Amino acid sequence: MSAATLKRGLQALREEIDAPVASFFSSCMHCGLCAEACLFYTETGNPEYTPIHKLEPMRRLWQQEFTLLGRLQSLLGLSKPVTDAELEAWQPLVYDSCSLCGRCSMVCPVGNDVAYMIRKMREGMSASGNAPEGIMGATTRAVKIGSPMGVRFPAVQAQARHVKNDTGIDIPVDVEGAEYLMLMSSMEIINFPEYMESVARIFKQAGKTWTISSTAFEATNSGIQLGNSDIAKELVQRVVDAAEKLKVKTVISPECGHAYTAIRWEGPNLIGKPFSFEVKHIVEVLDEFRTAGLLKTEGLEEARLTFHDPCQLVRRGGVIEPPRNLLKMVSQNFVEMEDNGKMNWCCGAGGGVSANEDAAELRLTAFKRKKVQLESLHVDTLVTACANCRMQLEEGLEVNQMDMPVVGLTEMLAEHLVETPDDEASDDKIKIPAGD
Amino acid sequence: MNEVNFLLWVRGIGFDIALAIFVFGIMLRFMEILWLGRKPELAAVRGNGVASGMRTVFSRFLPADSNTLKRSLFMVVAGYGFHIGLFVVIFLFAPHAELIESVTGLSWPTLPSPIVDFFTVLTMLALMALLWRRLTHPVLRFLSTGEDYLMLLLTFLPVLTGYMAFHHLFLSYGWMLGLHILSVELLLIVIPFTKLIHMFTLFMARWYSGFMAGQKGVQS
Ligand code: SF4
Ligand code: SF4
Ligand code: SF4
């Protein structure tokens, strides 16, 4: 990262201002509705957390430089330029109190995609040196070590050995010509080792070839949360290089909402060209297996359970039905939260909030929204499909003395997998090339 | 200036100036937005976005979800009251429709005066309610700038003067009508250069939001 200055920050903001942004700023009537949709406002009552207010410095820059009236005002010395102190003061608004969940964008009567703009605003914040330490640290680790939590490939290998010991299944590494490249999130590698085992078993049953890559195993992209497109691009490029080298057809984003939008939607735009492969969230792939009859499960969960929609997967990513189809396959007591699907409430920890120590307290305050939702449902189990949500949900439940297991959807499916009687036979089907 | 001259001016040259600034200003604002352009979407899209864009242009006339509606009921009710009232008053009052017909040649049925009168009062009450809300609700008070209050005032004036002219209140009909037209001209002039431009740009905003969402196969 070259030296961060106000000048660079403002330049980054200028580059982010496009026609949608100009139409959004032109249209805002300060009606305040977006505040009512944002959990950081609803749970704190602090008006500063009104989504559109989080963009005020960017709006002023737009007004002063991209409208005739604003330019005239500036010429006459009537406008107040954006200062470094101001951007610094906005740091808690742009990072600590925004998970980029996009709920505000759903309710704005004039149609402003506020979250789209906050993502852009972060480019200016980080270029001017006003991003939080925590997210900068995670990003530096992602660039230097290969993962935001400092996980190195040997840790992944260690986990692969565990899976081998427990299930007898080899985790394919760097297998050229596999159909799928499986990415992981460090959160899963460290906290949820069940995930790797689950996909290994499911893919074995489905008879699909897959691989992990030793050079690109990390799916998350801190560069996006930070708002540094150069770094974000570098991280995407790693995955693209690995996918192209291994000639896979599809790259699978793990149970992480943010990782999914990062590679699925921002990825090609960051590197400036379309991908030569497809990108799918694991839940999408599993739902395809289900439709194709490749996912065979038995038994139904009896517990009353609900699904926490990871915003990046559902609202921002457009994957609403697949997790529900899958859940219904293995449960008989699935109930929806009051605001679900595209209107779900965020867990409070997305968009870099969980990596940002400054936001530690606020994120647990924001969790109160989920708490209320869960309490009114009287469920025994909470299922989700995002490791980051899962960490936050587990912590939030614990802090609030709510005793409820939080389960990853893939893992729940794997528990109901019909065991193939003839392991040898299905091993043949996987066709892992010799030499692995 | 006497009453007749004043009326002649606001109906003649005054109106022409205001209309010219209004039209020029809107075109300018549209250009300012459009020339910024948008990078093409390089991710493999799930749809072309057009249907979703169109849908969002209309769907945002309605409240998004019941939770937000409950939380913002006052603004929503007052907002609808104001916008519907204003629409009726502007377009369904016979003299207004005649004026529009004389300029554009377009005509449509209008409402009887007493009904329009009712909507005029409704519009004014709604505007006052919006002002009260702005002054008292923590979020709105926090967000509001001088411009927000000025917009309320400048929108209120034509409605008020129209009402007073119609009922022959305060001043002679001629003077009041002149003031009414003048206040409309003032409004026409400021629309393009203030956030009142939202009446046009919101269609672009909704279109972009809906279009981008549609490309991703995301509901908007
Ligand atoms: S909901 Fe939309 S119009 Fe209302 S204050 Fe927020 S951004 Fe502005
Ligand atoms: S994206 Fe989510 S967290 Fe951020 S301002 Fe909007 S509603 Fe709030
Ligand atoms: S952590 Fe989960 S709920 Fe929170 S923003 Fe990410 S996907 Fe949404």
Q: Nearest C-alpha to atom 5 of ligand 2 is from which residue?
A: A51
Determine the residue type at A272. G
End-to-end CA distance of chain A: 38
The CATH number fitting domain A6-131, selected from 1.10.1060, 2.40.50, 1.10.4030, 2.40.160:
1.10.1060
Determine whether the shortest distance from the Cβ of A99 to ligand 3 is under 6 A: yes
User: Hey, where are the domains in chain B?
Assistant: 3-36+64-211
Report CA dihedral (A344, A348, A352, A357) to the nearest 10 degrees.
180
Q: Rounded to 5, what percent of chain A is helix, strand, coil?
A: 55, 10, 35
Query: A50 CA distance to ligand 1 centroid (A)?
Result: 9
What are the pLDDT digits (tens) for B168-201?
A: 888 888 898 999 999 999 999 999 999 999 999 9
What number does the ligand 2 atom closest to the CA of A51 have? 5
Q: Nearest C-alpha to atom 8 of ligand 3 is from which residue?
A: A311
Domain A144-291 has CATH 1.20.1050: yes
Partner-chain residue, chosen from B67, B142, B216, that has the shortest CB–CB distance to A47: B142
Query: A109 CA distance to ligand 1 centroid (A)?
Result: 7
Angle at A146 between CA A143 and CA A151, to 5 degrees: 130
Is the minimum CB–CB distance between B43 and chain A shorter than 8 Å?
Answer: yes
Q: Is B92 helix (H, G, I), strand (E, B) or coil?
A: coil
Query: B133 CA distance to ligand 2 centroid (A)?
Result: 23
Q: How far is CA B131 from CA B90, B92, B140, B148, B158, in A?
A: 21, 25, 10, 9, 16
The answer to ipTM > 0.90 is: yes
Phi, psi of A249 (to 5 degrees): -90, -35
Is the minimum CB–CB distance between B1 and chain A shorter than 8 Å?
Answer: no
Contacts B206 to A, Cβ<8 Å: 110-111
User: Hey, where are the domains in chain A?
Assistant: 6-131, 144-291, 305-419
Q: Rounded to whole angstroms, how far apart are CA atoms A404 and A374?
A: 10
Residue B203 · residue B50 · CB < 8 Å: no
What are the pLDDT digits (tens) for B52-89?
A: 999 999 999 998 898 999 999 999 999 999 999 999 99
For B:84-123, CB contacts with A below 8 A are: none
Q: Rounded to whole angstroms, how far apart are CA atoms B210 and B207?
A: 5
Residue A162, Cβ density class (10 Å: 0-12 exposed, 13-18 middle, ≥19 buried) = middle
**CATH superfamily ID and name for B3-36+64-211:** Transmembrane di-heme cytochromes, Chain C (1.20.950.20)
Q: Rounded to whole angstroms, how far apart are CA atoms A99 and A87?
A: 18
Contacts B26 to A, Cβ<8 Å: none
Fold topology of A305-419:
Rossmann fold (3.40.50)
Q: Nearest C-alpha to atom 4 of ligand 1 is from which residue?
A: A31
pLDDT in tens for each of the 436 residues of chain A? 468 899 999 999 999 999 999 999 999 999 999 999 999 999 999 999 999 999 999 999 999 999 999 999 999 999 899 999 999 999 999 999 999 999 999 999 999 999 999 999 999 999 999 999 899 888 988 888 888 888 888 888 988 999 999 889 999 999 999 999 999 988 888 888 889 999 999 999 999 999 999 999 999 898 999 999 999 999 999 999 999 999 999 999 999 989 999 999 999 999 999 999 999 999 999 999 999 999 999 999 999 999 999 999 999 999 999 999 999 999 999 999 999 999 999 999 999 998 888 998 999 999 999 999 999 999 999 999 999 999 999 999 999 999 999 999 999 999 999 876 554 444 444 444 444 4
